[in-house]
Amino acid sequence: MKDKKPKNVFIKGAITHEFIGNSIYKHQSKTSIGAHNIFLGQVRADKVDDKTVSAIEYTAYEDMANQKFHDIREATFNKFNLTCMHIYHSLGTVKAGEICLFVFVSAPHRKVVFDALEYVVEEIKAHVPVFGKEIFEDQSHQWKKNT
Amino acid sequence: MEITIKYFGQIAEETNTTEETIRIENGNISNILTLLLKKYDGLKYKDFQVAQNQEIVSPETEITGAEIALLPPFSGG
């Protein structure tokens, strides 16, 4: 499942439960897999003073981001014995409660998928140029920062 | 040489544009930063990293002519 060219990780808007369910379903034909692990990032309705975040609007330096996602994929396959891996990230508006990041790793056995998933998510948070603008209910905004 | 500069997120809010071309003599990234800080006063209060040819670089890195981007703190996921 390793590929050499960066592919497009971005999806316009929220990542739907149908998309996620379908992605799981497609792995039924890959019968060497014995363990999947999934991370779903969800937009939180954070309260700041008396305002509540109603959505995050994502933008990215897309070329660099897709290259970074690709590098993270390569590094993860080199580090962990995975059968396959999928990463999807939203661009544009994602409402509170909706999914904005979907990371899916699969392997013959369980142990590796726990470590691999954490590694992938932390690498994404640290190295991929994606920018989240938190929109409040009154349409004012602030810029999100990963901690 | 002519260099394309891209701005993202809150940096683009400050510059009021997402992309522009600047003319600059050979030098390093700090020369570009000096020029941009003069043009956009508010940038000095902003936290950002610089990428050249899609790689994060330091102010001492030599300008190659490849695309430059000013990147505010990442907040993916």
**CATH code, B28:** 3.10.20.30
Examine residue B77 and state whether it is found in any structural domain, yes or no.
Answer: no
What's the token pair of residue A21? 């369910």
Examine residue B38 and state whether it is found in any structural domain, yes or no.
Answer: yes
Q: Do residues A106 and A30 touch, judged by C-beta distance below 8 A?
A: yes
Task: State whether residue B9 is helix, strand or coil.
Answer: helix
> Could you tell me which CATH class the domain A10-143 is placed in?
alpha beta
- pLDDT tens, residue by residue, A106-131: 999 999 999 999 999 999 999 999 99
Partner-chain residue, chosen from B71, B72, B77, that has the shortest CB–CB distance to A125: B77
Q: Do residues A33 and A106 touch, judged by C-beta distance below 8 A?
A: yes
Chain A residues lying within 8 Å of B54, measured CB to CB = 61, 63-64, 67
Examine residue B10 and state whether it is found in any structural domain, yes or no.
Answer: yes
Examine residue B76 and state whether it is found in any structural domain, yes or no.
Answer: no
Please list, residue by residue across B6-31, b when 16 or more beta carbons sit within 10 angstroms of its beta carbon and e when fewer do: bbbbbbbebbeeeeeeeebeeeebee
Examine residue B17 and state whether it is found in any structural domain, yes or no.
Answer: yes
Per-residue confidence in pLDDT tens, chain A, 147 aa: 445 567 889 999 999 999 999 999 999 999 999 999 999 999 999 999 999 999 999 999 999 999 999 999 999 999 999 999 999 999 999 999 999 999 999 999 999 999 999 999 999 999 999 999 999 999 999 998 887
Q: Do residues A88 and A15 touch, judged by C-beta distance below 8 A?
A: yes
The terminus-to-terminus CA distance of chain B in angstroms comes to 37
**Average pLDDT for chain A:** 95
Residue of A nearest to B46 (CA): A143
Q: Do residues B2 and B21 touch, judged by C-beta distance below 8 A?
A: yes
The total of structural domains in chain B comes to: 1
Sequence ranges of the domains in chain A: 10-143
Residue B28 belongs to domain spanning: 2-71
Distance, in Å, from the CA atom of A75 to the CA atom of A20, rounded to the nearest integer, reads: 24
Chain B residues lying within 8 Å of A60, measured CB to CB = 8, 76
